[in-house]
Chains A and B, each alone.
Chain A
Amino acid sequence: MSSLIMIIVTCALINNVVLNQFLGICSFVGVSKQMKASASLGGAVIFVLTVASAVASLLYDFVLKPLSLDYMKTIVFILVIAALVQIVEMFLKKTSPGLYKALGIYLPLITTNCAVLGVALTNVKDEYNFIESVFAGFGTAVGYTIAIVLLAGIRARIDESDLPRPLRGAPVVLLAAALMSIAFMGFGGLS
């Protein structure tokens, strides 16, 4: 049990997916303009990443490995993730329109979010079993959500300040991310 908690802490804080691994940067800087949108995207990422880790882990352990096709993992994972996101989208649309309305528009965005493929491949590389993979996927997504919500909060403050012209837009957001990244390096002491 404690090792599972350690996996979540490691994935969410110590090796934060955005601030340390640089996965999912596009949506991290793109969507963080608004707090509400950031939180919704975070929710969608938690959902998709946990399910995708589970499916990828099962596929790898029971299909790719027994058939010694593990060199096919990149192709298989990306297709499965793309199909999975579509299925989740259709499923949500039918079963819970409220949730679909909140998360729906972010789901297609997540297909090409490199964090999803990144986690699936990292789980294989670290030789995580099924349960560990699910926890790693969940932890990584929680880390993503923490980072994007924090950045959205910081950007709300940045918008009100008077910045030198060249720094406006992307540079100041990247600088904020750099400072967050320095702060998150402090979690390295937990490992």
Chain B
Amino acid sequence: MNRYLERIYNGVVKENPTFILMLGMCPTLAVSTAAINGLGMGISTTAVLILSNIIISALRKVIPDEVRLPAYIVIVATLVTITELLIEAYLPSLYDALGIYIPLIVVNCIILGRAEAFANKNPVGLSAFDGIGMGIGFTLSLTLLGFLRELLGAGTAFGVQVIPKSVEPIGIFIKAPGAFLVLAIIIAVLNALNVKNRGKELVNGCDGCCANCAKHKAKCGEEA
């Protein structure tokens, strides 16, 4: 397989950021109340991720190693601000639905994680495809979670009524507990199918949360 396509496959299947790497849990749980919100969040994050991967990869020989994290954060925060202003201007309903989770893309571990793990040591083209793959993987996962929660919790799919109105939907699924429930069930199914995922690391210390944690992993491991 061509190594650019391999990046896409890696992001969508092999290292799916949500279900395998379990990164960026906060937006995953928070905005998956409906399929369309998951899709919107996924696409916004993908846009930021592709651009940040390209910029960080292009600047990888310029940014000194000691100050790379603050530099990455400034780059990502700038891109997020641009994205936020664009969504506010052109998609006001999505802007209202996603609320503060749009600016919080800055602290989404996937973005800093890919910068640290991939973009700062690979050429621009490959990093762009890494961003595309991870972004598609994240978008599909969020849309799936949103789809399931919307179907069970409101009886609709992408806003269209699919389960007859006479069947009472299980409202809890679009409320906060539903997010934890659906994710727990998906990970349990992956475990039952023996799909290797980082669920263990997720609950056994700070491994896998973010670039900054990686730096302090040794210390965290001691305590946790």
Contacts and interface: CB of A to CB of B under 8 A. Distances in A.
Interface string B109-124: 1001000000000000
B212 A108 contact: yes
B204 A30 contact: yes
Contacts of B144: none
B54 to A, nearest CB: 19
B177 A171 contact: no
B200 interface: yes
Contacts of B209: 26-27, 30, 112
B104 A121 contact: yes
Nearest to A110: B212
Contact of B103 (A20, A117, A168): A117
A5 interface: no
Contacts of B211: 112
A105 B180 contact: no
B100 A174 contact: no
Nearest to B82: A71
Given A25-B29, A177-B180, A112 B191 contact: no
Interface stretch (A49-57, A75-83, A91-99): A75-83
Contacts of A31: 205-206, 220, 224
A32 B205 CA distance: 8
Contact of A112 (B77, B107, B189, B220): B107
A169 to B, nearest CB: 5
Nearest to A25: B25
Chain B interface size, under 10 / 10 to 19 / 20 to 34 / 35 or more: 35 or more
Contacts, number: 171
B77 A75 contact: yes
B187 A170 contact: yes
A185 B176 contact: yes
B162 interface: no
Contacts of B169: none
Nearest to A31: B224
A74 B81 contact: yes
A108 B216 contact: yes
A114 interface: yes
B70 interface: yes
Nearest to B219: A105
A114 B176 contact: no
A175 B183 CA distance: 9
Contacts of A170: 22, 184, 187, 197, 199-200, 202-203
Interface of A: 19-27, 29-34, 37, 71-75, 78-79, 82, 105, 108-109, 111-114, 117-118, 121-122, 125, 165-175, 177-179, 181-182, 185
24 contacts: A22-B27, A22-B176, A23-B104, A26-B25, A26-B206, A26-B213, A30-B202, A30-B206, A33-B204, A71-B85, A82-B70, A105-B216, A105-B220, A109-B212, A109-B216, A111-B212, A114-B26, A169-B200, A169-B202, A169-B204, A170-B22, A173-B203, A174-B187, A182-B177
